[in-house]
Structures are given as structure tokens and as C-alpha cells.
Amino acid sequence: MAKLLLSISILILSIAQFFIQGAISSATFTFVNKCDRTVWPGILSNAGIAPLQPTGFALQKGESKVLNAPSSWGGRFWGRTHCSEDSNGKFSCGTGDCGSGKMECAGAGATPPATLAEFTLDGDGGMDFFDVSLVDGYNLPMMVTPSGGSGRNCTYTGCMADLNGACPAALKVMNSDGDGVACKSACEAFGEQEYCCSGAYGTPDTCKPSSYSLLFKTACPRAYSYAYDDKTSTFTCNGADYQVTFCPPPTTSKKSTEGQETPEAQGTPSVPQFDSGMVFEGANAMENSEASSRNTYIHVAIMAAVMTVASL
């Protein structure tokens, strides 16, 4: 009888633990600012799900910040640049502004052009889907690096190139000094269906890459360059945590990445892999602390079960 009660207690506590783990965190996002100035990340959660908080914050040069995503979270991240507060306390940004007038975007999205990192956690088949998109234009180099996950294309993605310098004149957004601060998509610049994949061009068969989207694709082969660029731009992981890096630094490493040969490997510098131990010194500590808190929980659960039986 005691044995049975013990087994039941452990079972119940294990089930509770499973749900608590799931509800607390299905993934962590670590935001890292490697730019030479402050970036103000913005976060927009998809409609109808528990939002990820805060919805906007400042990330100083060299700083990083960890957020725990609610389970099955989905939404997008972007970086705002050239932000300031006016004399009335109204906050606004030169690029990626969300129009809230505050540091937090509170449900508002980025004004294009802005580089976006898009996520759907625990999607089809329990996989996380993610991508970096230039469909709404570009304002900053961004990289997403999964850690601890599994899957055939569970690997980094992003747009590491500086497209502000390389932006064609027709798409370029400049500040008052004439410096390029962002690069529009052709859809935004010209508003034509052929570029926006709308109207008669609203299917994967009819909407083809344009000379403009190809420019983006050449510079950033892993990023979405137009609406139907899914095949080469959607990545999937099972059970990963993610680092979102603004202005990822180029490395001198010549090591190519398994099975994912792209023009990037020759042209722009290769980016650090997760196991390079360079950018991700904090990751092991993070995983270890997660594992140890899980172990603590199990020990407490077993102790509670034993005490329950002992008190009978």
C-alpha cells in the first residue's frame, strides 16, 4: 500500500513538474548587442498568445539580456536605432520605430524598413520555426543562433552583411547627414504587386524573386528576401534556446558549416558556430543552471512523496 502511494505521489509530482516546466519556459532568448552603439530591441508577440515581456528595451553596446519565452510563443524581434526622447518625453526611433511613443512597443510592430527575426515555438510536430526576414526591408545586421536543439536544419540564420552601405539609391533611407540608416524592400519603395507578391502575383508560382530581392539574397543567402522565399530561409529546431545578436561580428574562422554551402561561405565572413565557444560563453552556465534547477525539483518531489508515505 505504502509502495503504491509512493508511486502515485511521484507520478503526480512528475506530471505537475512536466506542466510547470512547460508553462514556465519553452525556450530562452538571449539578446546580444555587438553593434558599436545602443540598440533598442522591439518585441511583437503574435495575436492570441501570452506575450513576451517586456515589449521593448534598451540594449547598450556590448550588453546582453535573457528573456524566457512562454510555451508555444510566436512573434518577432527587431532592433530600433537612433532612438531618443524629445522634450515632452516622447520616445521615438530613426529606424524600426513602433510608434508607441515609449520604450515599450506594447503591441505595436516595427515601421519598415527593419530586419526581423521571426519565431514560432512548438509549431508543427513540436518544432520551433524561425527565420530572419528582409521582406520588410533592412536596418541592422542580425543573427539567430540556436543552442542545445536538434533537427536537420537546426542551425544559425541571419543577415550578417551591412546592407545600409550597399543599398541601391532607390531603396536607401538616409539620416540628415546623408548616411544610409536603412534599406527599403522593393515592395515598400515602389508598391507594385509584382514586388509585394499581392494581387495577380499572390502565389508562390507567380511571385518570383526580383532584381532587388536578389540583391538581398546574394548578400544574405539565409534571410527571407521576398514573401515566398521559404525554402532557403526557414529553419527548424527541437528544444533549442536562441541567441539573437545585433551586428554579429565577423570571425576569422574558415571552418565551413556542415552541409549548408552557400555563397556566404565564400563572400562575407563565416559566422561563429554555437560550439565555437566564442560568443556563447554564457550558454553552458545557462544550461547547467536550468538542469540543476530541474534536478532540485525532482529531489524535492521525491522527498515530498517519501514524507507523504511516512506520515500515513
Ligand X SMILES: *[C@@H]1O[C@H](CO)[C@@H](O)[C@H](O)[C@H]1NC(C)=O
Contacting residues toward ligand X, per CB under 6 A: 153, 231-232, 234-236
Q: Which is nearer to ligand X, 153 or 292 (CB)?
A: 153
CA 91 to CA 140: how far, in whole Å?
20
- Give the residue with the Cβ less far from ligand X, 14 or 232: 232
Tell me how far, at minimum, the Cβ of 153 lies from ligand X, in Å.
4
Is 39 within 8 Å of 59 (Cβ atoms)? yes
Smallest distance from the beta carbon of 122 to ligand X, in angstroms? Answer: 15
Of 154 and 309, nearer to ligand X (C-beta) is: 154
C-beta of 56: minimal distance to ligand X in Å? 29
Q: By CB neighbour count within 10 A (0-12 exposed, 13-18 middle, 19+ buried), where does 92 fall?
A: middle
Nearer to ligand X, 176 or 203 (CB): 203
CB closer to ligand X, 64 vs 232:
232
Main-chain dihedrals φ then ψ at residue 110, nearest 5 degrees:
-80, 135
Residue nearer to ligand X on the CB measure, 139 or 236 = 236
Residue 128 CB, shortest distance to ligand X, in Å, is 11
Q: Which is nearer to ligand X, 78 or 224 (by Cβ)? A: 224
The nearest distance, CB 234 to ligand X, in angstroms, is 5
The Cα-based distances of 21 to 27, 200, 295 in angstroms read 10, 47, 12
Rounded to a whole number of angstroms, the minimum distance from the CB of residue 237 to ligand X is: 10
User: Closest residue to ligand X, Cβ-based?
Assistant: 153
Q: How far apart are CA 274 and CA 252, in angstroms?
A: 15
According to the 3-state scheme, what is the secondary structure of the chain?
Answer: CHHHHHHHHHHHHHHHHHHHHHHHCCEEEEEEECCCCCEEEEEEECCCCCCCCCCECCECCCCEEEEEECCCCEEEEEEEEEEEECCCCCEEEEECCCCCCCCCCCCCCCCCCCCEEEEECCCHHHCEEEEEECCCCECCCEEEEEECCECCCCCCEEECCCHHHHCCCCCEEECCCCCEEEECCHHHHHCCHHHHCCHHHCCCCCCCCCHHHHHHHHHCCCCECCCCCHHHHCEEEECCEEEEEECCCCCCCCCCCCCCCCHHHHCCCCCCCHHHCCCCHHHHHHHHHHHHHHHHHHHHHHHHHHHHHHCC
CB of 129 to ligand X, least distance (A): 8
Taking the least distance from each CB to ligand X, the nearer of 153 and 206 is 153
* Nearer to ligand X (CB atom), residue 42 or residue 149: 149
- In the complex, the smallest distance separating the C-beta of residue 201 from ligand X, rounded to whole angstroms, is 22
